[in-house]
Amino acid sequence: MYERIIELIEEKKFSLLKEELNEMISVDIAELIDELDKKNSIIVFRLLSKDHAAEVFSYLSSAQQKDIVGAIHETKLKEILEELYFDDMIDFLEEMPANVVKKILMVSTEEERKLINQFLNYPETSAGSLMTIEYVDLKKEMSVKEALAHIKKTGLDKETIYTCYVLNEKRKLEGIVSLRKLVLMDDELLISDIMNEDVITTQTLDDQEEIASLFKKYDLITLPVVDKENRLVGIITIDDIVDVIEQENTEDFQKMAAMEPTDEEYLASGIFSLARKRIMWLLILMVSATFTGAIISKFEDVLSTVVVLATFIPMLMDTAGNAGSQSSTLVIRGMALGEIELEDYLMVFWKELRVSGLVGLGLGLINFVRMLVLTAAGMKIAFTVSFTLFVTIVLAKVVGGTLPIAAKKFKLDPAIMAGPLITTIVDALALIVYFNVASLILGLV
């Protein structure tokens, strides 16, 4: 398709190109535009109808949105913004520099500017920044027939009509009713007779991770956002929560790899920006590795007496780091999914202790046999290394399983207690155990 679009642009067959674009799905057009250079992407975008352009625009990357806003006329920009759902417009504005936001505000009405500024003042990861004001509201005094007529009249401009919200004269949320129930019920019934008063809600300043948990726990497709007086101020839809889950997962992966989280795309990020977000954690880990060097220096006498001990240090440290990372990854994922809570720390400790005992015993025995058969190390050396392997695996898995919970207890992100950080900690533990066990068993004390 990419080659076909380029061919039509080069041959200036714009009418044929327009026909082909009208038959494509919006998200596919957005992906196509992201692949084109700036000049061709703007040509393609200009050929889209008003309705189609707004939908495609919501799927574009921030960089492409910025290019298009800068290239199209204010009249066309206003048409696009009018067709965008309000929450998509807010998401777009949050990513744009001040000069672009100013241009958007200039083509907005006074009421729209007031709403936009209100939404932009909410914290970036709060319910307020995620919600949309485009929902269907009903009165409990309405009949089912009147409610359906109201939905037909106003629903075209709403982001969703599948769940309707019942409000009183002070806009306090009294209940919800689904479109399915409205369609199936008798026309003469009142909304108050069929609405569900047991409504799951969130508040404007609640964190997006908590909101994502609510969607998962209660299998929601929309969630009403209320203020402290239970007045409905907006709703959050499932498509926004899917984006939140992707964003949170990406952030956790970055933290687990010892990087500062970023929303920028990899290829669109500058090398200085990428370096800045990586160097701090690497510096911390590099400095913390001096403890490992200090431990080795402290036991120089042991190493100089039995030089062969040094050859097994990489194996012990690598195995300990990998064992700790396994446990921390499982626990962090469990906490993210709500399967593990703070009060479960003893259960996690006990489970990791038993698992690590089995794993450590198995690897220790295999290593003991391996060293006797494949190396020239004697019985004492083989036992020293294998016993150390067992102890370090137990320590690594217990530490890897409990540190993320401890981080959560102290209001830190558990994801930082993974990967490189756990490895650094258990490396030091492995060396301490190794040299102390060697000193005792080999009589080097």
- Whether 169 maps to a domain, the answer reads yes
pLDDT of residue 244: 86
- Examine the pLDDT at 444 and tell me if it is beyond 60: no
- Whether 281 maps to a domain, the answer reads no
Looking at the structure, tell me whether residues 409 and 297 fall in a common domain: yes
Burial class (CB in 10 A: 0-12, 13-18, 19+), 283: exposed
Q: How would you classify the pairing of strands 137-138 and 163-167?
A: parallel
Tens of pLDDT, residues 233-258: 899 999 889 888 888 777 777 766 66
Q: How confident is the model at residue 165 (pLDDT cuts 50, 70, 90)?
A: very high
pLDDT of residue 418: 64
pLDDT of residue 103: 67
Looking at the structure, tell me whether residues 28 and 159 fall in a common domain: no
The number of folded domains in the chain is 3
Tens of pLDDT, residues 130-148: 888 889 999 999 999 999 9
Tens of pLDDT, residues 390-400: 999 999 999 98
Q: Identify the CA nearest to 378 among candidates 306, 305, 291, 282.
A: 306
Cα–Cα distance measured from residue 9 to residue 161, given in angstroms and rounded to the nearest whole number: 39
DSSP notation for 349-393: HHHHHHHHHHHHHHHHHHHHHHHHHHS---HHHHHHHHHHHHHHH
Looking at the structure, tell me whether residues 305 and 421 fall in a common domain: yes
Arithmetic mean of pLDDT over the chain: 83
Looking at the structure, tell me whether residues 435 and 323 fall in a common domain: yes
- Examine the pLDDT at 429 and tell me if it is beyond 90: no
- Whether 355 maps to a domain, the answer reads yes
- Whether 263 maps to a domain, the answer reads no
- Whether 71 maps to a domain, the answer reads yes
Q: Is the pTM of this model over 0.85?
A: no
Tokens of 424: 């650094």
Are 435 and 302 in contact, with CB atoms under 8 Å apart? yes
- Examine the pLDDT at 334 and tell me if it is beyond 90: no
List Cβ neighbours of 247 (8 Å cut-off, separation of 6 or more). Answer: 263
- Of 377 and 21, the structure prediction assigns the larger pLDDT to 21
Looking at the structure, tell me whether residues 194 and 224 fall in a common domain: yes
- Whether 436 maps to a domain, the answer reads yes
Q: Identify the CA nearest to 108 among candidates 143, 71, 80.
A: 80
Q: In what order do the strands lie in the sheet with 163-167?
A: 137-138, 163-167, 173-178
Average the pLDDT over 4-10 and give the result: 80
Tens of pLDDT, residues 35-65: 888 888 888 888 888 777 888 888 887 778 8
Query: Which residues form the domain of 181?
Result: 137-238
Cα–Cα distance measured from residue 165 to residue 198, given in angstroms and rounded to the nearest whole number: 12
Cα–Cα distance measured from residue 150 to residue 142, given in angstroms and rounded to the nearest whole number: 10
- Whether 282 maps to a domain, the answer reads no
